[in-house]
Amino acid sequence: MKNIALASALTLGSGLSNFTTSFQTMFFHDGIMDIVFQEDFTPLELNRLPVAVLEAVDKTYGEENIVNVYYNELKEYKIEFRLDRELQTVYTDENGHWITK
């Protein structure tokens, strides 16, 4: 039991040291602490969007409906668009394949 408490304390300590460098969410599940890293998306200008991504969005939703575009270091793209007066979000990889998040 002492080993579990020590492991939890070490995990908590290492998690807190990483907290300053990236945004994380910590939660406990069955007595075990889990850390979920938030995916950081950076704003991107529409004209810098890869052609495959732009074609996929244009074909499905229409390029004129795009409101905001973001990307992350995994080359995934978050696209916000307005459809029927509602703001909706979709995700795609750099090849224009849809991703569920």
Higher pLDDT, 25 or 39: 39
Q: Check residue 2 and give its pLDDT.
A: 47
- State the chain's mean pLDDT as an integer: 76
Q: What percent of the chain has pLDDT over 70?
A: 61
Q: What percent of the chain has pLDDT over 90?
A: 53
Q: Which helix (H) or strand (E) holds 60?
A: helix 51-60
Q: Check residue 54 and give its pLDDT.
A: 94
Q: Check residue 20 and give its pLDDT.
A: 40
Q: How far apart are CA 100 and CA 51, in angstroms?
A: 20
Q: Which of 91, 101, 54 is nearest to 71 (CA)?
A: 91
Give the tens place of pLDDT for each residue, 60-88: 999 999 999 999 999 999 999 998 889 99
Residue 49 per-residue DSSP state: S
